[in-house]
């Protein structure tokens, strides 16, 4: 696992989890390209969505095949840019994930990311994890 982080404390937490941390800004397309070499999927969390242009530029230059975006409420400009890219993508709309505790919510989000990464073909999907019908799009069977 590789992570880009400018924050020292965040970088330390990721390192404790076994991640390789590239220190710098997620708005640096060159850093993203270098960190994403030989990577199949980039996962973008809510905090980094403002840098979607740099993420897409760096990812495309590195030959990354897939983008997974995790967001509670995706801004329309983000969706427009992701849809216009040449990359496969899965946008996971986390919403409120009502009736779930924090650890269960984190576990279900991690499972959804894993499933989005494992999808065959060339997905271009937007999935609402609070909607059972939408969530079935992540089911390989």
DSSP 40: S
Per-residue confidence band for 141, with pLDDT thresholds at 50, 70 and 90: low
- The pLDDT of residue 74 is 87
Residue-wise DSSP of 86-136: SSEEEEEE----TT--HHHHHHHHHHHHHHHHH--S--EEEEETT-HHHHG
User: 79 to each of 22, 75, 102, how far by Cα in Å?
Assistant: 26, 7, 26
Give the pLDDT mean for 91-105: 65
Whether pLDDT at 56 is above 60: yes
Give the pLDDT mean for 38-58: 90
- Tell the burial category of 77 from Cβ atoms under 10 Å away from its Cβ (0-12, 13-18, 19+): exposed
Q: From the centroid of its chain, how far is CA 49?
A: 9
Give this prediction's pTM: 0.88
Domain positions in the chain: 40-138
Cα separation, 51 vs 44, whole angstroms? 9
Degrees to nearest 5, angle at CA 140 with 63 and 85: 30
């Amino acid at each position: 696992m590789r992570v880009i982080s400018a924050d020292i404390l965040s970088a330390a937490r990721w390192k404790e989890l076994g991640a390789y941390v590239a220190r710098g800004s997620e708005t640096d397309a060159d850093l993203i390209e270098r960190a994403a070499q030989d990577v199949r999927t980039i996962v973008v969390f809510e905090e980094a969505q403002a840098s979607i242009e740099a993420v897409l530029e760096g990812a495309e230059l590195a030959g990354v095949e897939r983008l997974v975006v995790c967001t509670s409420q995706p801004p329309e400009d983000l969706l427009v840019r992701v849809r216009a890219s040449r990359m496969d993508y899965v946008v996971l709309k986390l919403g409120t994930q009502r009736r779930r505790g924090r650890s269960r919510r984190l576990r279900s989000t991690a499972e959804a990311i894993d499933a989005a990464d494992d999808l065959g073909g060339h997905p271009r999907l937007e999935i609402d994890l609070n909607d059972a019908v939408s969530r079935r799009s992540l089911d390989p069977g």
